[in-house]
Amino acid sequence: MKIVGSTFLAPFVESATGRLVSASVIVAPQQEYRGTVNGIKAFCRSAAPDSPSVVAMSRRMRGEEFEECRQRGVGEIIEIQIGYSALVLAAPRGDPDYGLKLLDLYRAMARDIPHDDEFLANRFMRWRDIDQDLPDLPIRVVMPAPGLGSRGFFEDRFLQGACRLIPEIRTIFTAESRVNQCVALRSDGRIVEVGYPFEASARQALTDAPAGTVAILPSNIAQKMSDIVKTLPLDGAQASQATVATREYPYVRPLFVYVKRRHVKDYKGVGPVAGLRELITELTRERAIGPDGYMISEGLVALDDSRRESMRHHALTLTPMER
């Protein structure tokens, strides 16, 4: 069994496979976590038995990705949503307490700022230049590098979310031009991109980070780094298990695992990859993803009861997804 995908999901999937391996239910799978984008490319490349059987993604598979998969013969895919996670803003522990609005964050990071019907190069140097209520500290943002699922989610939800509030960008008709304008970030050294392995790289970037640094981190990683950073409220909301589950904190992403149905052995034991059915069962069990499951203690936010039940039914009956 070969598993690829998001580095963010790696600990969750590894804890499930680890339990199955230690109970001698499956043999240790080959796991290679190089990000969501690389993962889905490898997953969709072919339906051959030696191709990845499982991809862990920190967002839902997109329509065009599903179409590409189908064109390459990977038509029947089982979609398993294991829960939610949130991206949060974090600042060095010694920084003053403050909160940011989504538009403040956008203005701090964007390459161009609309002004009098034109897009001008971003000249905001200090947080106070954006809003008088923000601290008089230099702008510096630590964020996930392109290719990581968290980066994709940040662009989709934070940057494009902010652009929906900016008329000059919102009224650009073509999606491609609008998105290109929206996600273009400043390149004057105020943005630090950290790549794989994300957690270690982020810790390194944030250790002794200058005051005014804001990091964009998955909530569980921010929790692990609470010795050096504290979370900042965004639009007045702080991320927690409760606020994420109720969507009071809206910057939440669904976490998915996709499995090639044709790799799964049937009940007669016929099929190319052993252990997949057992992995699907483990990933959908209450002891893993339920409110008291072991993945919850690792930072996952549980789906609500009815959704978990419906997802479990689809997964265990190997119902192929539709998009």
Q: Provide the binding-site residues for another protein, judged by CB under 8 A.
A: 59-60, 62-64, 113, 115, 117, 132, 155-157, 160-161, 164, 167-168, 170-176, 178-179, 247
CB of 57 to another protein, least distance (A): 12
CB 86 within 8 A of CB 78: no
CB of 161 to another protein, least distance (A): 7
How far out from the chain centre does Cα 246 lie?
18
**Residue-wise burial string across 89-123, b where 16 or more C-beta atoms lie within 10 A, e elsewhere:** bbbbeebeebebbbbbbbbbbbbbbeeeeeeeebe
CB nearer another protein, residue 62 or residue 93: 62
Cα dihedral across residues 187, 233, 101, 219: positive or negative: positive
CB nearer another protein, residue 129 or residue 278: 129
CB nearer another protein, residue 130 or residue 217: 130
Cα gap 255→257, rounded to integer Å: 7
Cα gap 68→75, rounded to integer Å: 9
Encoded amino acid at 304, one letter = D
Encoded amino acid at 192, one letter = V
CB of 304 to another protein, least distance (A): 9
CB nearer another protein, residue 171 or residue 187: 171
CB nearer another protein, residue 118 or residue 227: 118
CB of 160 to another protein, least distance (A): 4
